[in-house]
Amino acid sequence: MTSKTKTKKTRKAAKAKPNHKGLLIVVEGVDGSGKSTQLEMLQNWLNANGFATVKTEWTSSETVRPLIKKIKKTETIVSPETFSLLGLADFAERYDKIIEPSLRAGKIVLCDRYIYTAYARDTSRGLDLPWIEHLYSFAPKPDLAFYFHVKPEVAISRKINMPKFYEAGADLNLHSNIKKSFCIFQKRIINAYLGLAKKEGLTVVDGETEICVTFPKVQHIVAKAIQDKFKIKLL
């Protein structure tokens, strides 16, 4: 092993252990996987137990969101690189202004989508994973990451509205039919997520099972993380 790869590994290992006082919990998965509902339930439960929580969603910054929204709505074609950097800009705003300060203050930060969304989506647009990892390298790995898995067929069947341009990956010329394009793109993203879940050790939750069955499992894992971090017994 060369010294270069050694340093890289050490850095990665150091990053795996967040050194802030707070707790960073993220949910990942495609739309319709139930992740947002479960995250909201989790927040209510934590708040009811007296924890200070902060929740932040993907593409929700006050400053960058309007620009991304405009590009999506007007179906302006931008390159995958530009699209990826715009998503990063939104994340960076929320990271610097919300996530990082909240973690420093010892709060529980709940992220509806985190870096893995970019990893999955941007690589599905043909970009190299090492570059995407580099772009997001200022953000720590979460203490807990749940990936809500649904099969592509299920994700597609849960989609009632007509897929939007970028959501369908229509910028990639996958198929002339927007619904078909959406199916191809969803499959790519779900496959990317599955790969990431394995590589990054995300906790896979079955998004096809009833929430009343899966939520207690999520609660249990969160309770354990809280006990480890704050020495408080929740369940």
Partner 1 sequence: MSTNTKNKIRPGKLIVIEGIDGAGKTTVIRKLKKRLRSKGHKVVLSEWRESLTIGGYLKQLGEEGIKLSPHAFSTLHAADFADRVMREITPALDRGDIVICDRYFYTEIVRDAGLHMDSKWSEGLFPFAPKPDLIVYIDISLNTSLARVRKRIKKNGKPGSLNKTLQNTTGSLIGSLDSTTGIMINSKYTEDGDPMTDIEREKIKFGFQLITRKKYDELFRKEKNVARIDGEKGRNTVFSHSLAAIKNALK
Residues that bind partner 1 (CB under 8 A): 61, 63-64, 66-67, 71, 76, 78-82, 85-86, 88-90, 92-93, 95-97, 126-128, 131, 134-135, 137-138
Closer to partner 1 by Cβ: residue 70 or 220 = 70
Nearest distance from C-beta of residue 140 to partner 1, angstroms: 13
Residue whose C-alpha is closest to residue 56's, from 14, 90, 29, 15 = 90
Tokens for 175, please give them: 């198929």
Percentage helix, strand, coil for the chain under 3-state DSSP, each rounded to 5: 55, 10, 35
Residue 172 or 234: which CB sits closer to partner 1?
172
Nearer to partner 1 (CB atom), residue 45 or residue 165: 165
Beta carbons of 58 and 117 less than 8 angstroms apart: yes
Q: Which is nearer to partner 1, 63 or 157 (CB)?
A: 63
| Min separation Cβ 93 and partner 1, Å | 4
Write down the least CB distance from residue 81 to partner 1, Å: 4
Torsion angle defined by CA atoms of residues 86, 88, 91 and 93, in that order, rounded to the nearest 10 degrees = -70
Give the torsion sign (CA, 96, 135, 17, 232): positive
Minimum distance, C-beta of residue 180 to partner 1, in the bound complex (Å):
21
